[in-house]
Amino acid sequence: MTRIDAKFAALKSEGKKAFVSYIMAGDPDLESSLAVMKGLPGAGVDIIELGVPFTDPMADGATIQLAGQRALDGGQTLRKTLEMAVAFRESDDTTPIVLMGYYNPIYSHGVEAFLADAKAAGIDGLIVVDLPPEEDDELCIPAQAAGINFIRLATPTTDDARLPKVLQNTSGFVYYVSVTGITGSQAAQAAHVGPEVSRIKSQTDLPVIVGFGINTPEAARTIAGVADGCVVGSAIVQQIASGKSRDDVLAFVAGLASGAHSA
């Protein structure tokens, strides 16, 4: 059982929905992002998605693209991102960490070396948005063998013919992208999301977590209410981009977490 599996089991026993937060590693700098990361569990975050900056982030909107560029300009790398996880684990051995990003940095690192380093750093899951199920032998299956969950995205365009393929080797949870398009592009609507979550859950026992288009406590509550939890990324990254203090960022996150947990 991974930390992700254990977290969902604990939440289920408490009758709570999951709140997942995304931050970009190294934004605006390594020290600041690590300080925010360390404060996320205390703000109510159940699972941390840690973005790995990349030069061509095709699935991300302007907010996260700019965060990635700031991180790259500051010298952030995949190796430094893993070092962030190591530093986080010094004081927290229970909160799951999911690395979210693109395949190129992992390929450049070497898949076998990356998985060994990620496991040693305390990484629990991977979301690699540019590796479709047809490429599962590249990373997904080796990651599962290494004890790291491989989390797949389903979208509004994932029809019934495609869904079984998407779910085939997924573990940890399913990330349902609530809107068609890039991150931060439009608001999620519970009336649209609910039936899609039900459709996915009819084909898997995995938790379904909804992301994209959630930026207020009320939105977190309503979306978590029709799923097993929700993810917020761009809205948190925007707080960091605007120069808010660590405490202010964490207060914002706490409001979102409270919304999700009240669902």
| Catalytic residue flag (residue 49) | yes
Say whether the peptide bond before residue 41 is cis (omega within 30 degrees of 0): no
Angle at 218 between CA 215 and CA 220, to 5 degrees: 60
Contact 184, 64 (CB under 8 A): yes
Dist CA 226 CA 1 (whole Å):
26
Dist CA 147 CA 3 (whole Å):
10
Element (H, E) at 111: helix 111-121
Active-site residue, from 5, 46, 49, 228: 49
Distance of CA 102 to the CA centre of its chain: 13
Token pair for residue 184?
Answer: 């931060």
Helix axes 30-39, 246-261, angle to 10 degrees: 40
175: left (phi over 0), alpha (psi -120 to 50) or beta: beta
Dist CA 45 CA 47 (whole Å):
6
DSSP code of residue 204:
-
Active-site residue, from 5, 27, 60, 117: 60
Token pair for residue 1?
Answer: 């059982």
Q: Which residues are catalytic?
A: 49, 60
